[in-house]
Chain A
């Protein structure tokens, strides 16, 4: 691939995929006006154990993408930062990657690959901090029988623009779990997507997001059940507080005619903590075969549950503390899945801070 073409489409905002995104705030990522930097900001943050390599290689994409920004990223660079985890290796400690070098004047177009050999078991945590403009094409391949927990932490500074596709290809009997945490940035738009390659594969796509005044966070899940007997579960939870806080969750699940024995469920819950915030939530299930185990979706958007607050306050807990407990509890279900105490504490503290900031205006 990597054929350079200048005939990229520029989204206008009328396309289904772009109808929620504030294009004007993308700093030119979508229309080609962004100036490409030579930053290669993704680095390993801990020493790599044996069986794991991190290299820069020229690699062809594993999957097609109709996302116009991803097309631009692929056109801009054939070099890929590649984290490879050897077959049959197993790691109890997470492998940390991160980006802490940024810049707002130029944009980084980054391609990333994470590949697991057969029966490899690993956790990869990507920590995204700093102020940056970043478009990322991240592909993951899970070989048969492998198991990956993939955690991305969007802890960007307030001016960052980040658009990304995190696409996992899950092979026979492999298990993929992603936990996508978005708590920082000006505009964050992530496409956590999955394609099953063979039966027995499973994917859990989990996510939390907390948007405060003016922030725009969009998560577009897509799960492609193209093979029989694969299982998927999507669960994204978000909170919003402050004027013009805006979140978007799209949950597309496609069960193709061949995908008999599919089992899928998707859930999105949003907690509106103030007026002036907007949560869009669109589950979308397309089913081409009736021979499935289960397919369902649910979406709720609500305010604080008065009964929960009353119960906690009736035990002497002040309103602000009761709210904090409820919000922590709301997110805890997913944050606790990260499985790393230090990271979990940091994220929960960040959520506390966001809530406290917002609380002054609630």
Chain B
């Protein structure tokens, strides 16, 4: 049982106009097995929350705390956060030219598990994960994210989620750019990971569409750098009907 606790998190980003505050005090607690949907309009700071927790150097933490089972996450380097059990499925996964998917996955698994996975079982593991996400076996020989379609990038992110077995996953707009079939396949992958590892999930999304496949326990509305309303799944229904206008004008 793990708990990710975000307290009064304040984050700024350095722009040409100086430091601009994006997150203005975010409070959120996620326990293993829970799924929290964070919904909000574009530019509300949802992605900043995701990248700040993962430790992207672009963001400066100006206040607040993030702890995983009581341990200070903000003190950790990016790779240490992953080793502690955090995972970020990115909205725009980065191309790494010349590095094959299979090499990348094995290097990551070796780093996270503390030893190289046995080749025989590893090959089977990867094969199973790829088949479950309806991915062509040739995918493993391609370079990481290079020339991937939007859907392939997202499948690749979720394949990592399944293979790397984190405790807490932040899914940043994993639904964007996916057609209905791909959305279902990717969502099933998230649900498998939840079931297999009692994963806690922060599901960042603009639309309610993905919530038909991944059922949230809690819904948080994000606007202007903070959480402005919280509720159960019924809150998503309300957003579906009314949009974000109420929150943006506040």
Binding site for B on A (CB under 8 A): 305-308, 310-319, 321-322, 325-326, 328-333
Q: Does B211 contact A (CB under 8 A)?
A: no
CA distance A95 to B99 in the complex (A): 29
Q: Are A332 and B98 in contact (CB under 8 A)?
A: yes
Residue of B nearest to A307 (CB): B94
**Which positions 81-112 of chain B face chain A at CB distance < 8 Å?**
81-83, 87-88, 90, 93-99, 103-104, 107-108, 111-112
Q: Does B10 contact A (CB under 8 A)?
A: no
CA distance A315 to B82 in the complex (A): 6
Contact among B55, B82, B90, B99 for A325, CB-based, below 8 A = B99
Q: Which residues of B contact A316 (CB under 8 A)?
A: 79, 82-83, 108, 111-112, 164
Residue of B nearest to A336 (CB): B98
Q: Are B78 and A329 in contact (CB under 8 A)?
A: no
Residue of B nearest to A326 (CB): B96
Which of B82, B95, B98, B144 counts the most A-chain CB atoms under 10 A from its CB?
B98
- Would you list 23 pairs from A and B whose C-beta atoms are within 8 A, ordered by A residue? A306-B58, A308-B96, A310-B54, A311-B90, A311-B94, A312-B96, A312-B104, A312-B108, A314-B54, A314-B79, A314-B82, A314-B88, A314-B90, A315-B108, A316-B83, A316-B108, A316-B164, A317-B107, A319-B79, A329-B143, A332-B98, A333-B97, A333-B98
- List the 5 closest pairs (A to B, CB-CB), nearest first: A329-B98, A332-B98, A316-B82, A315-B108, A313-B78
Q: Are B57 and A311 in contact (CB under 8 A)?
A: no
Given contacts A305-B94, A310-B57, A329-B99, 15 further A-B contacts (CB under 8 A): A310-B54, A312-B96, A314-B55, A315-B79, A315-B108, A315-B160, A316-B108, A318-B79, A318-B111, A321-B111, A325-B99, A325-B104, A326-B96, A328-B99, A330-B98
Separation in Å of the A185 CB from the closest CB of chain B?
Answer: 25
Q: Which residues of B contact A313 (CB under 8 A)?
A: 77-79, 82
**Which positions 149-172 of chain B face chain A at CB distance < 8 Å?**
160, 164
> Given the interface contacts A313-B79, A313-B82, A321-B107, does A331 sit within 8 Å of B98 by beta carbon?
yes
Q: Which residues of B contact A329 (CB under 8 A)?
A: 96-99, 143
Contact among A307, A310, A311, A325 for B107, CB-based, below 8 A = A325
CA distance A313 to B56 in the complex (A): 10
Q: Which residues of A contact B77 (CB under 8 A)?
A: 313, 319
Binding site for A on B (CB under 8 A): 54-58, 77-79, 81-83, 87-88, 90, 93-99, 103-104, 107-108, 111-112, 143-144, 160, 164
**Overall SS of chain A's interface:** helix
Q: Which residues of B contact A330 (CB under 8 A)?
A: 97-98
Q: Which residues of A contact B160 (CB under 8 A)?
A: 315
Q: Which residues of B contact A310 (CB under 8 A)?
A: 54-57, 78, 94
CA distance A332 to B144 in the complex (A): 13
Q: Which residues of B contact A315 (CB under 8 A)?
A: 79, 82, 104, 108, 111-112, 160, 164
CA distance A318 to B56 in the complex (A): 14
CA distance A242 to B104 in the complex (A): 27
Which of A319, A321, A326, A329 counts the most B-chain CB atoms under 10 A from its CB?
A329
Separation in Å of the B188 CB from the closest CB of chain A?
Answer: 22
Residue of B nearest to A332 (CB): B98
Contact among B87, B93, B111 for A311, CB-based, below 8 A = B93
CA distance A326 to B146 in the complex (A): 13
Separation in Å of the A154 CB from the closest CB of chain B?
Answer: 21
CA distance A54 to B77 in the complex (A): 57
Q: Which residues of A contact B56 (CB under 8 A)?
A: 310
Which of B93, B104, B107, B144 counts the most A-chain CB atoms under 10 A from its CB?
B107
Q: Which residues of B contact A311 (CB under 8 A)?
A: 90, 93-94, 96, 144
Separation in Å of the A179 CB from the closest CB of chain B?
Answer: 15
Q: Which residues of A contact B87 (CB under 8 A)?
A: 314
Which of A306, A310, A311, A316 counts the most B-chain CB atoms under 10 A from its CB?
A316
Residue of A nearest to B112 (CB): A316
CA distance A325 to B58 in the complex (A): 22
CA distance A306 to B78 in the complex (A): 12
CA distance A311 to B143 in the complex (A): 14
CA distance A312 to B97 in the complex (A): 12
Separation in Å of the A330 CB from the closest CB of chain B?
Answer: 6
Q: Which residues of B contact A326 (CB under 8 A)?
A: 96, 99
CA distance A313 to B97 in the complex (A): 16
Separation in Å of the B75 CB from the closest CB of chain A?
Answer: 15
Q: Which residues of A contact B81 (CB under 8 A)?
A: 314
Residue of A nearest to B105 (CB): A315
CA distance A316 to B56 in the complex (A): 13
Q: Which residues of B contact A333 (CB under 8 A)?
A: 97-98
Q: Which residues of B contact A331 (CB under 8 A)?
A: 98
